[in-house]
Structure 1
């Protein structure tokens, strides 16, 4: 399995790392995803999809906050990944982030996994 580091980005309250695991791109945001930090996640997500990573796993274990702008970034990435024949899988969401997806109904359009390992196995 190739678990090499692909890249990372950072701006203030959000850091994003990207790596590959076989056919999946694993994107790991750590911190707060909001209006001010949305591009820090948007750019690596779009790059991962463009580089042939139509199956993207978002490891949400370090994501402490997500507002509507962050949710829109993920919804846009989902559309891009689906157009490329893949999808966005969300893993290990913290309760405060999971609540945003529950309230908005966005959990219904993503494949959500309890753990990163489960997402990679699926």
Structure 2
């Protein structure tokens, strides 16, 4: 995947597959860096390709801005009739989802391949 956009400490790569769109942020996701990811996710949802998979493996940090972006994107995807899936959240993102009590609202998979291969829910 080629980086589509960058902010001071975050890059976002997007690739399309037959089952949907994979969005991979890498770096630190916070108030100052969320813009490129917000735009990539908006485009992915607007594209309407069945599912949007956020590959979290490259996230080094995610604050409340990032969490709110994930939650809002989930709602946008749901309204558009799409699935939003998180792949490979890693310990930092997993802990944030657990501490905030929102893990149950996301479809979470160990890898992008498993998220793309999953049955439609």
- TM-score normalized with structure 1 length: 0.91
Residue in 2 that maps onto 1:88 = 84
Gaps of 5+ in 1: none
CA distance 1:7–1:82, change in 2 (3 Å): farther
CA distance in 1, matches of 2:19, 2:76: 17
CA distance in 1, matches of 2:2, 2:53: 14
Q: Deviations over 1:35-83 (max 9, x none)?
A: 1111121110001111123410001111111110000011111111000
- TM-score normalized with structure 2 length: 0.91
Tell me, yes or no, if structure 1 residue 48 matches structure 2 residue 62: no
Counterpart pick for 2:67 among 65, 71, 85 = 71
Counterpart pick for 1:120 among 95, 116, 119 = 116
- Number of residue equivalences: 118
> Following TM superposition, where does structure 1 have runs of at least 4 consecutive aligned residues deviating by more than 6 angstroms?
none
Counterpart pick for 1:23 among 19, 23, 48 = 19
Contact 1:54–1:81 (8 Å) recurs in 2? no
SS at match of 1:36: coil
SS at match of 2:48: coil
Q: Deviations over 1:78-100 (max 9, x none)?
A: 11100011121000112011100
